Amino acid sequence: MTLNFIIMFICLFIPSMMLLSFGILTLLQNFFSAPYVPSSAKKLAAALEELGLPQAGRFIDLGSGDGGITLMAAKYFHQSSGVEINPYLWLFSNLRRLFHPKRKNIHFICKSFFRMKFHDYDVMYIYLFPELMAKLEDKLFAELPKGSTIISHTFKFPNHQPERTINKHYHIYSTK
C-alpha cells in the first residue's frame, strides 16, 4: 500500500510539478523576456544554402528554444551551438541531440546570452524581439570576430544596416 503510494507519487506528482513549473516559467518569459516561438529550420536551411558560408564556421543560435535550428545547422557547419535560458527547453534540446548523427559537433548551453562571450563563433542566428536586439547590438558587434555573419529573423538592429535580406525575413549583417 505504502509502496504503491510512493510509486504513484513519483509517477504523477513529479511530472505534474515539472509541467506546472515549465508553464509558469514560459508565462513569465512572455512578460520579461523573449517568449519561446520556434522558427522554421527548413526556411533557414534554404537561406544558408543561398549564403554558402564556409563549412568551417562555428554557428550559434541565441535563444535556441527547442534546439531545432541548432540541430539543422550542424549539417552546414563544423560546430553548431545553442544557448537557451529555459532549462526545460535546454533539456529537450539535449535529448534531441542524442539522436543526431553529428551530436559530437553540437552543444547546448543553459545560461543567459548576456552572460556569454561570443569570440568563438562566426555565424550567429537570432530570432528575438527588438528590445533584446537593441540590448545585444553593441555586445555582439564588439565580441564576434571580424567578418562574422549575423542572421536575424524578422527584426533588425537599430544602429546597423543589413548587407542584404533573404526571402524577406532573414536580415544578414557582417561584423567589420
Ligand X SMILES: C[S@@+](CC[C@H](N)C(=O)[O-])C[C@H]1O[C@@H](n2cnc3c(N)ncnc32)[C@H](O)[C@@H]1O
Pick 73 or 79: Cβ nearer ligand X: 73
User: Which cell goes with 147?
Assistant: 567578418
Task: Output the smallest distance, CB 99 to ligand X, in A.
Answer: 18
Residue 29: CB atoms within 10 Å:
16
**Residue whose CB is less far from ligand X, 35 or 162:** 35
For residues 122 and 149, is the Cβ–Cβ distance under 8 A? yes
Rounded to a whole number of angstroms, the minimum distance from the CB of residue 105 to ligand X is: 18
Residue nearer to ligand X on the CB measure, 73 or 122:
73
Given the complex with ligand X, which of 89 and 160 has the nearer CB atom?
Answer: 89
What is the secondary structure of 52-92 as a DSSP string?
T--TT-EEEEES-TTSHHHHHHTTT-SEEEEEES-HHHHHH
Closest contact distance (angstroms) between CB of 7 and ligand X is 33
Min dist CB 47 to ligand X, Å, is 12
Distance CA 170, CA 60 (A): 15
Q: How far apart are CA 123 and CA 44, in angstroms?
A: 13
Contact positions toward ligand X, by CB under 6 A?
29, 33-34, 36-39, 61, 63-65, 68-69, 83-86, 89, 112-114, 127-128
